[in-house]
Chain A
Amino acid sequence: MDFNTKYTPQTWPEHPEQVTLEGKNKFLGFWLFLGGETVLFASLFATYLALKNKGPSGMEYSTQTLFELPLVFVMTMLLLTSSLTSVYAMYHMKNHNFKGMQTWMAITVLLGLGFLCLEIYEFNHYVHIGFTYGQSAFSSAFFTLVGTHGIHVVIGLVWIILLILRNAKRGFSLYNAPKYYTASLYWHFIDVVWVFIFTVVYLMGVVG
């Protein structure tokens, strides 16, 4: 299968990300990578739960006093919506609508950036009130878990931005279709992890 072949919406295959062997390998390899990432985050979650609210004696910070749900709710909405927009992008890729895909990918990036800004604001706020990285085992575990997710968001954003810019003038090919596809998979994964962070860290933190 030649990478340089130009396709029309009529000849464009149904699963463009899995037509070439390279595409198939990337697709499977990326799923496996996400499997490993799941274990990575599972380790972080387990550690967080073990160290939740643990600190030097007399520590005044706890999940109840720290977290405020309205901000986190907005962040959650932004990220969930961005996952939806990346699905739209993949829908347009299937239909060979390059412009549509680029647009929806760009909207995904904007929503992701919004999420990131709020997260930076949140972290900055905590540090400001004295809940610093080294303040306690709880703070280390919190910042490491949520921060690792944040770094994933940054990497995902840079990745998608580079894809959008690099392919802006090139249109679809069987070479870049798997790249877009895996980037959107990655973005979904980030979203799923956030759902767990929202539940385990914030909701369970405020409720109990």
Chain B
Amino acid sequence: MSSIAKKKGFGASVWDYLTTVDHKKIAILYLAAGGLFFVIGGIEAMLIRIQLAKPDNDFVSAGLFNEIITMHGTTMIFLAAMPILFGFMNAVMPLQIGARDVAFPFLNALGFWLFLFGGIFLNLSWFMGGAPDAGWTSYASLSLASPGHGIDFYALGLQISGAGTYIGGINFLVTIINMRAPGMTYMRMPLMTWTTFVASALILFAFPPLTIGLFFLILDRMFGANFFDHTMGGNTIIWEHLFWIFGHPEVYILILPAFGIFSEIFALFSRKRLFGYSSMVFATVLIGFLGFMVWAHHMFTVGLGPTANAIFAVATMAIAVPTGMKIFNWLLTIWGGSIKVTVPMLYALGFIPSFVAGGVTGVMQAAAPLDYQLHDSYFIVAHFHYVIVGGVVLAILAALHLYWPLMFNQMLSEKLGKWTFWFFFIGFHMTFFIQHFLGLMGMPRRVFTFRADQGWDLFNLISSIGAVFMAIGVIILVINIIITVAKNVPVGNDPWEDGRTLEWAIPQPVPFYNFKQTPLVRGLDTFWIEKQEGNKEGMTYAEPISDIHMPNNSFIPFVMTVGLFVAAFGALYNGEKTWAVPVLVLGLAITLLSMAVRSLKDDHGYHIHKEDLMNEKGGK
């Protein structure tokens, strides 16, 4: 039997997950940790909507409200959406290209632990003197003036988790370039793999500016530097540039994998080849490219001048073109298909109108003169929630249902799934559609309350009721997950019956070494081709059964991360506590020593022998 099926004690399982380098287990870790942060960010969202449900509310104080909105945004972007997407990329992409694992399994584990500890560090701020309160963008003049340690937690926590994301990005890139199965040419890669590829490239080039920006913030606040302090010759706009050079590609890092997920869903449940595959690939790459050209559209009102504003406005509008191509390709994929409206398909169908609405308001804001009116109003809040929730979150929920059988060999209840969808979908539009009008009526974003005579009462109340609907949807989802896990009914191979791509060709539960023999890819939707030709074996294979080389588990990623976690506390209290510098040095020493150990100790991995693989086949 494979080691996955072996019953293990609780302690052994925990140790297994602490040391694992298996992309499928790391995917589960990402999903679990990201899910937890999603719930935390969701609770913060509910607190915001309770506070704004009626005028002159004093449910939370103004200061606490600032902390809540900051942590809501930061948590949802960095600690919920991105890690959950990373979870699906990890679970699906290596199987989709027929790889044994990712290129650097050790770094994969390291990336996860860095994200998790960065997230924990950030959230510890709640208990250690107050959370960051300068908004998720943390503009420098405001964040330099923020008292307490909130902003320090923000800068250090994001630095740690950002390093994890960066590592993950490189890892996915190398995996996709070097480890595709024979026959898997670039133009046969499923869209999920393509979008992972482009999103990873964006991570590679977008995260370093954030790293530098955060370092400046850390150095300014904790180590006496003067990057942003204008009395010392500094320039606060530098932060805005660095942040948005990262920040704009970041939204494509989030939305491209969402596009990938929906492309898989539309083809799968329309039982048709994805319409315009090559134009989809082209559009994905083009969006990734243009994503770096538009950051200053977040800064139209800063005063960069009409020339800069005009250039960035035009570049921003240009992005609507490849995005529009994608929308039409999805519509034409459904057209004439033999459609099955499963839960993932429901999300995909709901996604199109929602995301188009968010895209249209985006083009509106791209017009710089109009943006002067809309800037920092609830119109902006409505816009980015339409693209992030209507795009990314719907994709995450869809992928959760779609890939649950692949990851856990169980099927989430379709019935409860539909309840979740309708509650969430209706709640989402109820919450955010009306915020467009609040914005047009002049309600600024990030205000902790409003007065009764401003005429915003009813719309805010409707918006808050919508948020309750979304919360109910998520609660039903959690119940669904609990019931499914408790029942634990195995699903068997090709759980959706119409799997087209390679990940559905693998036997369930997925063996820890993935494909026993590396498959031969004979075209786009390779599994579908094999099924159409009546291949009983599932796939055509590129090699006979032979020894499989596997990496060893390792505890070092965890230790390395703990070192940085400790060091972050040292930096945080620098100049304030006497133990700060020793702790900083100690933490860095732990990290650097474990890096040295990793480098000096030979780690050749191990082999699964051919005979054992043959026996397994017989035993089944």
Binding site for B on A (CB under 8 A): 3, 21, 24-25, 28-29, 32-33, 35-37, 39-40, 43-44, 46-47, 50-51, 54-56, 59, 133-141, 144, 159, 162, 166, 175, 179
Contacts and interface: CB of A to CB of B under 8 A. Distances in A.
B104 to A, nearest CB: 6
Interface stretch (B42-50, B222-230, B363-371): B222-230
B551 to A, nearest CB: 9
Given A36-B204, A43-B208, A140-B226, 10 more contacts: A25-B174, A28-B178, A47-B216, A56-B233, A134-B226, A135-B226, A137-B226, A138-B233, A139-B226, A140-B225
Interface of B: 103-104, 166, 170-171, 173-174, 177-179, 204-205, 207-209, 211-213, 215-216, 219-220, 223-227, 229, 231-235, 238, 241-242, 245, 596, 599-600, 602, 604
A115 to B, nearest CB: 21
B164 to A, nearest CB: 14
Contacts of A59: 233
A140 B227 contact: yes
Nearest to A28: B174
A44 B209 CA distance: 9
B170 A144 contact: no
Given A134-B224, A140-B226, A37 B600 contact: no
15 contacts: A25-B103, A25-B104, A28-B103, A28-B177, A29-B104, A39-B205, A55-B233, A133-B223, A133-B225, A135-B226, A138-B233, A140-B219, A140-B227, A159-B599, A162-B600
B178 A25 contact: yes
B596 A51 contact: no
B440 to A, nearest CB: 36
Contact of A51 (B207, B223, B235): B235
Given A51-B235, A134-B224, A39 B208 contact: yes
Contacts of B604: 3, 175
A59 B226 CA distance: 14
Contacts of B171: 29
Contacts of B209: 39-40, 43
Nearest to B596: A162
Contacts of B600: 162, 166
Contacts of A50: 235, 238
Given A36-B166, A162-B600, A175-B604, A47 B212 contact: yes
Contacts of B223: 133
Contacts, number: 112
Contact of A137 (B104, B212, B232): B232
Contacts of B233: 51, 54-56, 59, 136-138
A21 B599 CA distance: 18
B208 A37 contact: yes
Interface of A is mostly: helix
A56 B232 contact: yes
A55 B232 contact: yes
Nearest to A32: B170
A141 B225 CA distance: 8
B106 to A, nearest CB: 11
Contacts of B170: 29, 32-33, 36
B219 A144 contact: yes
A28 B176 CA distance: 11
Nearest to B177: A28
A137 to B, nearest CB: 4
A159 B166 CA distance: 21
B179 A144 contact: no
B232 A32 contact: no
A200 to B, nearest CB: 16
B211 A47 contact: no
B235 A137 contact: yes
Contacts of A44: 212
B212 A43 contact: yes
A123 B166 CA distance: 31
B227 A141 contact: yes
Nearest to B102: A25
A24 B178 contact: yes
Nearest to A33: B170
Nearest to A141: B227
A43 B231 CA distance: 22
Nearest to A59: B233
Nearest to B231: A56
Nearest to A54: B233
A32 B204 contact: yes
A198 to B, nearest CB: 21
A7 B229 CA distance: 60
